[in-house]
Amino acid sequence: MSATDELPGTAEREQPGPIRHKGPGPSESGWLDPRGRGHGGRALALHRVTGLVIVFYLYLHLGVLSMLLVGSSAWSSFLSVVTAKSFLAFEVVLIAAVLFHGLNGIRVAFVGSGIAVSRERALFWAGTVIGTAAVIFAALHVLGALS
Amino acid sequence: MSEEKLPPGGPAVTQTGHEDTRRFRVYRYKRGDGGERFDEFEVPVGPHTTVLDALRWIKQHEDPSLALRFSCLHASCGTCGMQVDGHEELACVCSVQDHGEQITVEPLANLPVLTDLVVEMDGFFRRFPHEHPIIRSSGCPSEGEDGEAHLEGGHEVTLDLPSLVPLHHHPLHHHHRAATPAVDFVRLEDCIECGLCLSACPVAATSHDYVGPAALAAAERLLEEPRGVEREDVLAWANRPEGVWRCHVGLECTRACPADAIPAERIMALRRELMFGDSDDEEGKR
């Protein structure tokens, strides 16, 4: 049978099928969707997200510091904005992101090197408790409740 | 309801006298047939109906074109792996009673769909190291006339270890998996090659080069029972960017594994062996 005489659908059957991924959106989001995940998968997703947040903040921080080149008046007016209570809430979010990323990083380093595999869940919950307490303390401190 | 439409797994009537049903959203895909979609089916269920029972009921009574793969019906062959409400499950032992009124069924993730709920497993098996054919648990050795074990394909091995290792001697013994009344054991041959771990792995979702949990667990299992294979070769195969070091410790593979083959723990044991050269360290002796 020649190529022109082939049965309908023959070419389509040769095509590879789709690859399903967890969650909607492009395949790259497969790690991001927390549905159907355990604490390990969710921690991995949050670790990546907080990592991106920290990288974004690093460049934002460098950009903000460059305002010093403009002059003291520009810097002072900027400080009046970022020291407002509403803006300081973002700082608490940043602290939470840094704490989660750091504490989870310690857990991943221990477990990933095969040192504390059997204590992985205990490490996760220990980090959660320590991180939560630290965020609460930081929030009270940053927002001025302790001063 | 006509008699021939009675569900498997017991009567489809609850104690209150109402018919018990579930709405199944089933992923559909046929090559050259207009892309992916979900079809919905109302399925009568009983107290012991499994997802596979329900899918077979759909195929028998509602849509004969629904394609699914199954064989043993008791979680031994690993062919009916699929996602049920986003969780990797063996459909033959997944009770519908553990799910809600609507149950979404999809094929395994991270593998190409052949049709409907059937995925192309070639990509899963190709991840196992071809230079160590014995690493596949389905490559069972048989004893020859010379008293030595042989693998299909002429790969000769000598069996000098039992396939069961006393639990307290095994580096992964803290995972209490198989027990006898007298002594606890870790089975080394638990993987049923169902592909659920690869589907659940968030790293495999974004890296097609990643060897994957099943193959790495099989490599670690080979270190426990080398059967003539050089340990250094196995370690060299695992010690590469797309090998043990690609794992990001999501631990979803162990969570998804229906056979308790603990692939994540085995990957970490491989790393420990590579880093410290001693898989029998204090972690294993606890």
String of DSSP letters for A76-136: HHHHHHHTSHHHHHHHHHHHHHHHHHHHHHHHHHHHHTTSSGGGHHHHHHHHHHHHHHHHH
Domains of chain A, residue spans: 41-142
Model pLDDT, residue A34 = 76
Query: What residues of chain A, 71 to 100, have a C-beta less than 8 Å from chain B?
Result: none
What is the pLDDT, as a whole number, of residue A3?
Answer: 53
A16 touches chain B (CB under 8 A): yes
Domains B3-119 and B123-285 share a fold: no
Q: Is the pLDDT of residue B135 over 90?
A: no
Tell me how close the Cα of B29 comes to any Cα of chain A, in angstroms: 8
* pLDDT band with cut points at 50, 70 and 90 for residue B167: very low
Q: Which amino acid is at B110?
A: N
Interface check B83 vs A, CB under 8 A: yes
pLDDT, position B176: 41
Instruction: Please say whether the beta carbons of B275 and B247 come within 8 A.
Output: no
Query: Which residue in this structure is represented by tokens 């059957």?
Result: A13
φ, ψ at A65 (rounded to 5°) = -60, -30
Mean pLDDT of all residues in A7-12: 73
Q: Can you give the pLDDT at residue B198?
A: 95
CATH class of the A41-142 domain in this structure: mainly alpha
Q: pTM of the entire structure?
A: 0.78
Q: Which residue has the higher pLDDT, A104 or B181?
A: A104
Instruction: Flag whether pLDDT at B275 surpasses 80.
Output: yes
Q: How confident is the model at residue B162 (pLDDT cuts 50, 70, 90)?
A: very low
B167 in A contact zone (CB under 8 Å): no
Q: Are A113 and B272 inside 8 Å of each other by CB?
A: yes
**Distance from C-alpha of B286 to C-alpha of B284, rounded to nearest angstrom:** 6
- Confidence class of residue B181 from pLDDT cuts 50, 70 and 90? very low
pLDDT tens-digit series, residues B214-230: 999 989 988 887 777 78
**Whether pLDDT at B19 is above 60:** yes
- Asked if CATH classification 3.40.50.300 holds for the domain at B3-119, the reply, yes or no, is no
| Average pLDDT value for residue range B85-90 | 92
The CATH code that applies to domain B123-285 is 1.10.1060.10
Residue in chain A lying closest to B172 (CA): A118
Interfacial B residues in 24-53 facing A (CB < 8 Å): 27, 29, 31-33, 36
Instruction: Identify the pLDDT of residue A144.
Output: 79
**Mean pLDDT confidence for B14-28:** 79
DSSP B275: H
Of A16, A17, A112, the CB nearest to B268: A112
Instruction: State the pLDDT at residue A86.
Output: 85
Nearest CA-CA partner of B124 in B143, B104, B107: B107
| Least confident residue range of A97-106, A112-121, B7-16, B272-281 | B7-16
Q: What is the rounded distance in angstroms from the CA atom of residue A94 to the CA atom of residue A102?
A: 12
For residue B161, the model assigns a pLDDT of 38
Residue among B50, B100, B59, B104 nearest B80 (CA): B50
Higher-confidence position of B276 and A13: B276
- B96 three-state secondary structure: helix
Q: What percent of chain B has pLDDT over 70?
A: 70
Task: Determine the pLDDT at residue B117.
Answer: 96
B141, amino acid identity: P
Question: Where do the structural domains in chain B lie, given as residue ranges?
Answer: 3-119, 123-285
Mean pLDDT of B62-90: 94
Searching chain B, which residue's CA lies closest to the CA of residue A10? B32
Task: Kindly identify which residue of chain B lies nearest to residue A11, measuring between CA atoms.
Answer: B32
Q: Do the Cβ atoms of B10 and B53 come closer than 8 Å?
A: no
Interface contact A13-B31, CB threshold 8 A: yes
Q: Which residue in A145, A38, A23, A21 sits closest to A92, CA to CA?
A: A145
* Token pair listed for B254: 């162990």
For residue A53, the distance in angstroms to the closest alpha carbon of chain B comes to 19
pLDDT of res. A75 = 86
Among A12, A17, A31, select the one facing B120 at the smallest CB separation: A17
